[in-house]
Amino acid sequence: MAELQFFTGTMDSGKSTLALQTNHNRAARGLAGRIFTTRDRAGGSLLTSRLGLKHDAIEVDPTFNFWHFVVDALTAGGRIDYLICDEAQFYTADQVNQLAKVVDELQIDVFAFGILTDFRSTLFAGSARLVELADRMHVLQVEALCWCGKRATHNARTENGEMVVEGEVIVVGDVDKPEHEAEVAYEVLCRQHHRRRLTAARAKAVSLTAEPLPFD
């Protein structure tokens, strides 16, 4: 029986690498799949991992319809045994519904990969719907680490080096920005340091600041 499986973890936990490996393993056994992504770090129509691996992918925008895509491909004589869906946190709830329908009605396996929460520690709409609908949910065992060495559980956004907890939900980081715009970046933190807004850069700055002695 086909399944909708959701693989989740923080940034740097190897989701995209696992997505590529999942595709490789099935393609090596003669199965035919399609790879989807949205807002990948390398730009459109590519699924990339931080290890340097990459594969061509179909870009998913908010108007994309998985059900129509798969039905049209099958009707045209194509073969699809599975779907690889990376950056699934950015999918709409309706798109996740479409993926579930592909699994149930067409018996095609769907492997979705994405982070659970945004920089505000709020569930993404796509991830929330995947948690509700997935046949199986896997938390990746490769642990990303906070700068302090503890397991990272939260994704933090920084603008011009300062951690922020308000703003647009989806902002792509690590891209060239005009000088008048904020430089956006992301890092992973443990819950304690996310609550304190203590990023690696700020922690380093604090450690270099002279602290008063504990006595007069």
Residues labelled catalytic = 87
CA distances from 151 to 146, 193, 215 (A): 6, 11, 35
Q: Do residues 196 and 206 make contact, with C-beta atoms less than 8 angstroms apart?
A: no
Among the listed residues 211, 210, 212, 186, the one whose alpha carbon sits nearest the alpha carbon of residue 200:
186
H-type alpha helices, the chain: 15-27, 66-75, 93-106, 125-133, 191-195, 200-207
Q: Do residues 22 and 53 make contact, with C-beta atoms less than 8 angstroms apart?
A: no
Distance CA 70, CA 32 (A): 12
Sort 68 into a burial class: Cβ within 10 Å, 0-12 / 13-18 / 19+: exposed
Q: Do residues 98 and 69 make contact, with C-beta atoms less than 8 angstroms apart?
A: no
Among the listed residues 197, 192, 194, 172, the one whose alpha carbon sits nearest the alpha carbon of residue 184:
172
Q: How far does CA 32 lie from the centroid of its chain?
A: 23
